[in-house]
Chain A
Amino acid sequence: MLKAENRLGVIFFPAFDWAISPTHPEREERLLYTQDQLREEGLFDIEGIREYKPEVAQTEDIERVHFCFPEAEAIATRSHYISSGGAIKAAKLIMSGERDRAFALVRPPGHHAMKTIQGSRGFCAINIEAIMCEYIREKYGPKRIAIIDTDCHHGDGTQDVYWHDPDTLFISMHQDGRTLYPGTGFPKEAGGPKALGRNINIPLPPGTSDAGFMMVMENIVMPILDDFKPDLIINSAGQDNHFTDPITNMNFSAQGYAALNSLLKPDIAVLEGGYAIQGALPYVNLGISLAMAGIDYSHVREPGFNPETLRESSEVMNYIASLCDGIRDIYFNPPKESSEGVISGKWSVRHRNIFYDTEGFTESQTESLLLCENCRGLLKVETQKENGPMGFGIEIPAAACEKCRNTGYSLLEEAQIKSRYRYMQMINRKDKDYLRYGF
């Protein structure tokens, strides 16, 4: 009988009764064949591997992370509450010590959901990894967390959520934004003024295969992780780098995903994208599960896998090699100034227009960080959906100084008195005080 080296919990939630639309890539069928494959392999009969059902996240879990306008219930469907609840369940399994590793195989995904949300972007409405990480910090105290995003699309949402957080290292490797949605994710996006070098983007050329990904892992990701020494490693496990994925142009394989996972050794993996639902997902999910459990995955091969034809050209490999040095340096010698925002008095201010592709509207947003000497700073957001009412959000970080905390409350009071805003939300992580006003 097989026995897993690491006790692995798999939270499998295919949401067999939910889809954006019947023919949307992110639809009911997505995890069907994965379920068939895991069942047929008898994965859950292996000693040490156990299947769990997800929990349902609470609105508070969402509002601890996001500024939601008009409110969380209006943006997140029940399905989102369950997929983020699945990630929370994974966290509980690890934090309680019931399992050594956990894999949340849930849908819908979340890594395009930003700090402020007014709707759905890139199949994502709420950021399920961030909701999980902040759940962990709320219940189990401060933690240094590294999130490694291996989805083919830039994890722009997660980047945005943690832009100002020096305790969260976010590394995204993805197909170059010049060739794929969402069009961001370049090395110069290195983090906000208080978290420079904590946001690492690795844009890879189309056609990158197993050797290219492993080169990045060995030369960028692992050395940075060794230095950052996180308490927890999270893998945003998007699987659309696969050579058969219909909406991307990469050449990664199930063997490659498993090998990457073996090296990374994440405590928790959370499924993100991956739309080759027949040719890739069953094999990649199996490979990752086996790698996480510490079981031989060398027999996992998808149909049509031919390492020779998938291999990168030497130009691609040379290009990736040249990326490696420069990008590693962003962490070890971070730039002096953030690439985004201007300093205005004591505030660092960013004006942005964010397009919600799933729903087709644009949000205009002004985000300001109070530059504080003593803590990571107070965050303030003013936002307006096209022709919609104004929203206001203010966040007091967990380790906020007394001054920032008080400023936070007086800004909230001021906002209420001015009555410029239809909706207002306060996230006070210091005192676990979460307030919302508006109608």
Chain B
Amino acid sequence: MLLLGIDVGGTHTDAVAIGPDGLEAQVKVPTDHDNLLSSIKNGLSEIVRNIDPSRIKQLNLSTTLSTNSIVEGKFEDVGVIVSAGPGLDPHSFMTCKDFHVIPGALDHRGSETRRLDNLTLEEAIASCRKSGVKVYAAVTKFSPRNPAHEKEIGLAIGDNADFITLGHQITGRLNFPRRISTAFYNCAVWRIFNKFADAISGTLDEMNLGHIKVNILKADGGTMPLPLSRKIPVQSIFSGPAASVMGIIALCNITHDSIIYDIGGTTTDIAIFAGGSPLIEQEGIDIGSHPTLVRALKVQSIGIGGDSTISILEGIVRVGPNRLGPSIALGGEIPTLTDALIWKDSCVCGDIGKSKGGFAAFASHKGFEPDELADKAIAYAIDKIHSSTRELVEEINQQPVYTIHELLENVRIVPRKIYIMGGPAKAMKMDIFRKFRLSTEVPENYDVANAIGAALTRTTTELELFADTERGLMFIPSLGHRENIPRNYKLEEAEKDAMNHLLAHLGEMHVAADGSNAQITSSSSFNMVNGSTTVGRNIRVKCQIKPGVVRIHS
């Protein structure tokens, strides 16, 4: 049995095959940004050349397709229809020109406080139809408490749309502006992503790999099955950094609070682990000009990488954030961090002689001893990484908490170990160790860790359950599930129901549901009092399949 992992990166597409005995094949091919499919196909053909295709069970794929089309603005026009009720002016969250606000309101418990205005809705749809819009996002305030208005808008759009995203299907978490932009992006990339998914399936069939189950990586360090990803393509944004983090988890046995660095050509990605688990962004990731509700690992990118240019301004040596070309060692002209590392004999890559020559010439031109320049450049890069990490840890430790218990327990993250991967990892290991004085590890196969991470990442999912016993109602927004509950429904039953629905949902996606990875992430029950009588309980439960990797070999 083999698991394949492909990570389409900025420069290279990495592919690996992993079996019970470990890594069986690995390959790096250049990424062709205008034709991601061909990069994937090339990687795949290299891998299957020496492997019996029938042994392959699964392919996990991380792709920059959705990210790039959003960042570059190459996407389809979307009709966005929202209903807001009282609060901030919804026009502040206008994502595109076909943006319509319909009068109507729900409150925080999901009660309708104003009916949806059907006349305005009809006019909005007519206007979108006139602009030739074929994909629609319908988002109403507090829809995770009651999706009725979103459903009403969806019904009214009906056959006018090739695809509709209803806000509550994205997540049960609250944040109306983010729900608008997430639904908008989901529609915007829907067609381009589905064409890509078709092409992937077609390619696999052509290569006699039709039996492989394909999963797409998500930014939260999990995967989703290809058929599901067709409905929620927005979940595939920023899966690259997640693949790296999962790679480190696969290659190392992380148990402490730790810092993870993925030092690439242009940037260094910093991730923080609490205990053995990666931290998740509290709300969701930002992309384009809007923040979203897409769950993501907390990863901070800084402009320091192997290819970062060395510059000198008024005698001060800096590295990055610009990248003006490859290192001198690889044919560039301006010295980079990698060239500085080569000068100090920490790094072996490309044309060493040319690198050292170019570096020394640059140094003397600027009036520096080459040794001094290299030391200062490396120290600058390490200082930058150090201070950004401290800021990130401090920010995480400042995050709000809402109970006395949490506040007094004072759960602070204190990193005890550093893991480094990416091209310059080995070369910078000792300098980072000297700065932090923390145990520092560079795993084997650090150069393809992201593809390994992709290959071994588990399918994850999360859901929120919301119950209001005064109304006798239980609701799971992302599944669109609603059921009546007795007045004595309790927190324990809600937790049980949430877990059962989570596992059943995985079953529907044909994912072997492993209960041991399912966990409740938060649960609370509030007495609702009217006058001085308890009229019911307001129950909220969140649960998830923990992000993690499959251990197929030990």
Please, which residue of chain B has its CB at the minimum distance from the CB of A33? B108
A residues 7-43 near B (Cβ < 8 Å) are 12-18, 22-23, 27-29, 32-33, 35-37, 39-42
User: Which B residues lie within 8 Å of A5 (CB)?
Assistant: none
Q: Count A-B pairs with CB separation below 8 Å.
A: 116
User: Which A residues lie within 8 Å of B230 (CB)?
Assistant: none
Q: How far is the CA of A14 from the CA of B88 in the complex (A)?
A: 22
Are B175 and A53 closer than 8 Å at their CB atoms? no
Size range of the interface on A?
A: 35 or more
Which of A1, A28, A29, A302 contacts B86, CB < 8 Å?
A302
Q: Give A236-273 as 1s and 0s: 1 = Cβ < 8 Å from B's Cβ atoms.
A: 00000000001000000000000000000000000000
Q: How far is the CB of B114 from chain A (nearest CB, A)?
A: 8
User: Which B residues lie within 8 Å of A299 (CB)?
Assistant: 84, 86-89
Please, which residue of chain A has its CB at the minimum distance from the CB of B529? A23
Which of B174, B398, B404 contacts A40, CB < 8 Å?
B174
User: Which A residues lie within 8 Å of B399 (CB)?
Assistant: 53
Q: How far is the CA of A286 from the CA of B176 in the complex (A)?
A: 14
Are B86 and A301 closer than 8 Å at their CB atoms? yes
Q: How far is the CA of A54 from the CA of B130 in the complex (A)?
A: 52
Are B86 and A56 closer than 8 Å at their CB atoms? no
Given A286-B87, A296-B89, A303-B107, A42 contacting B175 (CB threshold 8 A): yes
Are A1 and B524 closer than 8 Å at their CB atoms? no
Does any Cβ of B come within 8 Å of A74's Cβ? no
Does any Cβ of B come within 8 Å of A325's Cβ? no
Please, which residue of chain B has its CB at the minimum distance from the CB of A55? B407
Given A40-B108, A53-B398, A82-B407, A29 contacting B175 (CB threshold 8 A): no
Does any Cβ of B come within 8 Å of A316's Cβ? no
Q: How far is the CA of A45 from the CA of B93 in the complex (A)?
A: 11
A residues 279-323 near B (Cβ < 8 Å) are 282-283, 286, 290, 295-296, 298-303
Are A22 and B534 closer than 8 Å at their CB atoms? yes
Q: How far is the CB of A300 from chain B (nearest CB, A)?
A: 6
User: Which A residues lie within 8 Å of B174 (CB)?
Assistant: 36, 39-40
A residues 206-258 near B (Cβ < 8 Å) are 246
Q: Give B86-99 as 1s and 0s: 1 = Cβ < 8 Å from A's Cβ atoms.
A: 11110011000000
Are A29 and B528 closer than 8 Å at their CB atoms? yes
User: Which B residues lie within 8 Å of A362 (CB)?
Assistant: none
Which of B107, B176, B527, B538 contacts A27, CB < 8 Å?
B527
Please, which residue of chain A has its CB at the minimum distance from the CB of B289? A1
Are A78 and B108 closer than 8 Å at their CB atoms? no
Q: Give B392-423 as 1s and 0s: 1 = Cβ < 8 Å from A's Cβ atoms.
A: 00000011111111011000000000000000
Please, which residue of chain A has its CB at the minimum distance from the CB of B401? A53
Q: How far is the CB of B79 from chain A (nearest CB, A)?
A: 22
Given A28-B527, A52-B398, A79-B404, A39 contacting B175 (CB threshold 8 A): yes
Are A17 and B87 closer than 8 Å at their CB atoms? no
Q: How far is the CA of A82 from the CA of B532 in the complex (A)?
A: 26
User: Which B residues lie within 8 Å of A300 (CB)?
Assistant: 86-87
Q: How far is the CA of A282 from the CA of B141 in the complex (A)?
A: 14
Are A56 and B178 closer than 8 Å at their CB atoms? no
Which B residues have a C-beta under 8 Å from some C-beta of A? 84, 86-89, 92-93, 105, 107-109, 113, 141-142, 173-178, 283, 289-291, 398-405, 407-408, 524, 526-529, 531-534, 538
Among all A-B residue pairs, the 4 with the closest Cβ atoms: A42-B177, A40-B174, A36-B108, A303-B113
Give 16 new A-B contacts, CB below 8 A, not counting A41-B177, A298-B89, A300-B87.
Answer: A13-B402, A15-B402, A23-B527, A23-B529, A33-B108, A37-B87, A39-B174, A40-B87, A45-B283, A51-B400, A52-B398, A53-B407, A54-B407, A278-B108, A299-B86, A302-B86
